[in-house]
Amino acid sequence: MNFDRSLKIAPSILSADFAAMGAECEAIEAQGADWVHVDVMDGHFVPNLTFGPAMCAALRPHIHTVMDVHLMIAPVDPFIDAFAKAGADIISVHPEAGPHTHRTLQTIRGLGKKAGLALNPGTPLDVIEYLLDLTDLVCIMTVNPGFGGQKFIHSQIEKVRRLKRMIGDRPIHIEIDGGVTPETAPLVVDAGANVLVAGSAVFGGGSVGQPEVYGRNIRAIREACLAAV
């Protein structure tokens, strides 16, 4: 498992072909994805539905890197155990998804998983001040969660910069989720992010039959960032 702090590209399978999900995960890994980002939506916390722990368990044998599970469900606590058993490596929750986020993070770590906190564009950083010592990753949402292909919200760049200062020397990943493209990626990397989730910018134009497009798309994001730093 590669959890070091080097730049990671984590394609979101929300933009993949749902009828070929196992093959899609293998294709993006073969084309240079560092992690695989799995978006779980409940039609209640966010206005869209995807899939649950059974899908994650089915995909696990097809993911050889890190399975990065982003839970957009509320209440979240009753499902943590199921996603841990399904093989998630990182489980990220939104602080609005339960009354005791501190306990939720303890539960995730207690199950031997990395604990992530995901913050909506409108959620301030103060919420996580007393949670950072239990956190392995903070995901700054640069769109309102629910759908792929939305426009990057630029106000979040300053939030990333502030988060970086807040984290200090703690070993916490800063992940960006939403609207990441070769144009927006360098802005957030410059502000301190090291994990870039990208759905439409990775899967756009490609397919399981044409996986080299995924490789080109991943390289375009990575190279835009390396050129910027």
Binding site for ligand DX5 (CB under 6 A): 12, 14-15, 37, 39, 70, 143, 145-146, 148-150, 177-180, 197-201
Task: Give Cα separations from 176 to 87, 130, 196 (angstroms).
Answer: 22, 21, 5
d(CA 47, CA 41) in angstroms, rounded, equals: 8
Q: Whose Cβ is closer to ligand DX5: residue 29's or residue 39's?
A: 39
Q: Is 209 left (phi over 0), alpha (psi -120 to 50) or beta?
A: alpha
x/- mask, Zn ion, residues 55-74, rule CB under 5 A, reads: ---------------x----
Which span (21-29, 39-47, 121-129, 200-208) binds Zn ion, by CB under 5 A? 39-47
Q: Residue 213 CB, nearest distance to ligand DX5 (Å)?
A: 15
Terminal CA-to-CA distance of the chain, rounded, Å? Answer: 25
Site for Zn ion in 125-164 (CB under 5 A): none
d(CA 198, CA 201) in angstroms, rounded, equals: 6
Q: Whose Cβ is closer to ligand DX5: residue 66's or residue 110's?
A: 66
Listed residue (118, 55, 42, 47) closest to 88, CA to CA: 55
Q: Residue 168 CB, nearest distance to Zn ion (Å)?
A: 25
Which active-site residues does the annotation give?
Answer: 39, 177
